[in-house]
Amino acid sequence: MRVALLLLISTCLVLHGTEAISIPLQNDWILKNSDRDIEIKNIQIPSGIFSDLEAANVTESILFSYNDVKLRKFSYSNWSYSLNFNMTQEDLNHTTMILVFHGLDTITEIFLNDVLLGSTNNMFIRYRFDVKNHLFEGENHLIINFQSPIEAAKKIKQSLSYSIPPECPPEVYNGECHINLLRKMQASFGWDWGLAVPSMGIWKNVEIEIYDSLNIRDITYELTKISEPTIEESDLVEENWNISLKIFVESGMENAHVKGALIYELSGISGPYTEHKDFKTNKNGKGILKVTIQIKSTDVNYWWPNGYGKQNLYTFKVKWEDEQANDVNFYSKSYYIAQKSINIGFRTIELVQDRMDNGLSFYFRINGIDIFMKGSNWIPASILPEKLEDTTKIKELLQAARDANLNMLRVWGGGVYESDYFYNLADEYGILIWQDMMFACAMYSADEEFLKSVKTEIRHQIRRIQHHPSIALFADNNENEVALRQGWYATGSNYSLYASDYNKLYVKTITKELLSIDKNRPILTSSPSNGAWIQDKDKFGISLDPQNQHFGDIHFYPVGTNSWHSQSFHQARFASEFGFQSFPQGWKDVVRKNESILELIEHRQHHPLRNSIISSLIEKNINVEFEKLEWEDQVYLSQISQAIALKIETEVYRKGRGNFMNTMGALYWQLNDVWTAPSWSSIEFNGNFKIAHFWMTQVFAPLSIITHLNDMNKLTIYGVSDEINVQAKKMTVKMNIFKWNSLTIADTLEWKFMMKPNAVTEVTNIEIYNYLHDKNFDVRECLLMFYLYDDSDNSTAIANNFIFPGKYQNLLINDPNLRFSFSSNKCEKEKHQIFIEIKIDSPAVFIYITFNHENIKKYRLSKNGFIQVSPIQNVQLTFDNPNCHWNITIDDLKIKTFNKYL
């Protein structure tokens, strides 16, 4: 009803996220470059120059072909956004009119009606300008002048009294220099997995907020569980939740005297309550209102991570009514009222770092339950900031993470603080967020202006996201501590200077600010780090060995080793980064018809070791000359290699739970991509899954088995359970031995065991080569398949795994004579579903299905990269087919097996 009434006042007034009244300035902007040779009209916000140039057909997509370099000239120009908009006298009659920019990328000057309002230099800050005295009735003119970030970074560099490294990225990145001098997405000047796009633009909404009292900006809360004796029966204890809230309000006037009623409730659970407030805002026109409520723990249910229970969310509503609200006419009343709602979850979280014989533990305890973190690392969903709130893409990626049994994502520190939509979905899906602050792989300034900007950034961003139950941990940066300690950027000659800057920025500024906002969430000054271990730190608070696996978290990339073997990996407390590269399939969307795919791949391969990081691992294990293979074979083998290595390393960490290291987390690098390129992702930029994503779904399953073959002939089998609130279960592991020339089971072994809940159980160990020798099996001719059964219903295997006892290059493997056809092919309501029937005559290894249709870029398979030992198997293929228009034939499919390479 309120919205309808407001529309009678002005057709341009709306309710924004804080449910105050605002005039959105989203449409009809004009974009010009400083050379005055490009002018694009009808720009809509969010906006960025490369998106707008493409939309206006001035350029192609920057993601296409070699355009990341060819279009770089536009990043060297200055650009301006301008807008003419109208105001009525009725609009101007109100007390407060604040022009709000929720995100400007990055270096700007802002003029309203030829008056300089101010400048901006931080992409991650919300900028507010009081424009009450600068607006006219009728037409107003707003212009934002953007300075080239490349040139801006150069100017800052020239003003410095000493170098802040690294000055430039490696040449192979095709990037730009001095990104660490700007508070801008650090990956925007190039990274090893991404293109350099030094963009400019209004990447978040712009509006004029109008009110005559207060606006509610953010709500944070502190949640504690308390136990108190009951009044009736003093020997009984009643558990309650205590919720302490801070409500951050804004007025357009400094030291404003404000009186009114604060009304708040936990919807459907507690309240509403009303408190009279009489206070003054500070010199910036801001204030904090505090309230506390207590509710019985029996009135609400826990919020749980994915796979451990439901994600119960409750809405907290806050409303401010100025005491003058009842003294004005009906249409003006809303300008004296502000309200905001947030969703909260009831859960406790601890980062347990207890003393162990060989260091400190490092694991998360959620609602009193020790939980192994199964996850990945999240980079921005787009390199173009204006596309970072693409709700369709964010939802698809987070759904894929949830469905792959992930319960944690690390928002990596070289990107952005993600959108409200991202964190809302993480709450809904039960995906815990390890939240880095946006500092990565560099040294940074510690001068007064920079620290002031960072302090504002942290306040703005963390107050915005703090209420989400999915936020598990804050980390001040990505890899900057280890970079400084190990001298990645030649800082050793002046270590004390850079270490002092590090301490000022992270310890004395960011950590201090984080604690002032939320003292209950765990905080790390860096990742990797030694966590709470302080004995081995220097006077600046920097660890002597940030990669010590006995403390905190590690980042581990064993380049040069044979990562198809578990001996390449060591246990750690928590592995927050590890991974392997592969090639994506989706090249047809980004290469011109007359261009060489291989040359484009070489251009987009930013790793200093080039494609050898992929080819050498494959050539270590199978007898191929990788570079002489057809391109499609290279893609396939690279994805198989990535999947094998990721699976093995993750299983090393998974089985380490409860042992001498008690490994309790595995976050592989990385979930997603920003373009089509060689990278560590498990999901391609076009949204299709690589083989690794299918495999990690099984590795992270709540019930699984691990088969670990060491170099001493010993095969150890583990049962892994993530179940809680259950008793130990009677389970069976069955090992079936197949010969490569037959689908008949050549031999079987079974082991009965009790599967402990929320734990790893060693099932058995066997001298497998001795066993096979005693049975007259040649290890080269054997495939060992393992199946996990619940003894209460052993009709279907819960999980499976495999071992090749012989070396890959020595296997006596057969052509499985694979045939495939459609057993079903139907399209209804624009959803197309096909069942692919696959027939074989002997075991087929790592069956890989690709779907190639000129009109369909994204599709889902029920499984891929799998081993088949049954004569017939069906795989489901689904995709969108608008109006069921496109005809699909068997020729649109290709299927490969690993057999042919062995």
The answer to whether 191 and 606 have CB atoms below 8 angstroms apart is: yes
Please indicate whether residue 479 is annotated as part of the active site: yes
Q: Which residue has the tokens 């109006």?
A: 883
Would you report the helix, strand and coil content of the chain in percent, each value rounded to 5? 25, 35, 40
Q: What distance lies between CA 32 and its chain's CA centroid?
A: 34
The residue annotated as part of the active site, out of 321, 479, 481, 781, is: 479
If one counts every other C-beta atom within 10 angstroms of the C-beta of residue 723, the result is 16
Helix (H) or strand (E) holding 461: helix 448-465
Distance CA 262, CA 337 (A): 10
Helices 391-403 + 420-429 axis angle, to 10: 30
Q: Spell out the residues 6+ positions from residue 429 whose beta carbon is closer than 8 angstroms to its own.
A: 306, 311, 398, 399, 401, 402
Q: How far apart are CA 522 and CA 520, in angstroms?
A: 7
Cα–Cα distance measured from residue 699 to residue 799, given in angstroms and rounded to the nearest whole number: 9
Say how far residue 482 (Cα) sits from the centre of its chain: 22
Give the C-alpha separation, 775 to 327, whole Å. 94
Q: Does 54 qualify as catalytic in the annotation?
A: no
**Whole-number Cα distances in Å, 192 to 189, 242, 434, 552, 810:** 11, 46, 22, 25, 35
Determine the Cα–Cα distance for residues 406 and 692; give it in Å rounded to an integer.
14
Sign, Cα dihedral of 784, 790, 796, 799: negative
3-class SS at 420? helix
List the structure tokens of 387: 């596309």
CB 600 within 8 A of CB 65: yes
Vertex 238, ends 233 and 244: CA angle to 5°?
A: 140
Whether omega for the bond prior to residue 46 falls within 30 degrees of 0, making it cis, is: yes
CA atoms within 13 A on the CB side of 567: 8
Residues 6+ away with beta carbon under 8 Å from 146 = 78, 79, 80, 81, 104, 107, 108, 200, 201
Q: Considering 481, 577, 649, 651, which one is annotated as catalytic? A: 577
Using alpha carbons, select from 412, 435, 454, 378 the residue that is nearest to residue 181.
454
CA 183 vs CA 413, 445, 504, 670, 803: distances in Å: 12, 11, 17, 23, 49
Locate tokens 């000359």: which residue? 625
Q: DSSP of 848-859, one letter per residue?
A: EEEE-BTTB---
Read off the amino acid at residue 141: H
Cis peptide before 584 (omega within 30 of 0): no
If residue 221 lies in a helix (H) or strand (E), which one and from where to where? strand 215-229
**Strands across the sheet containing 860-861:** 819-828, 831-839, 872-880, 860-861
Tokens describing residue 697:
């779904």
- Please list the active-site residues: 479, 577
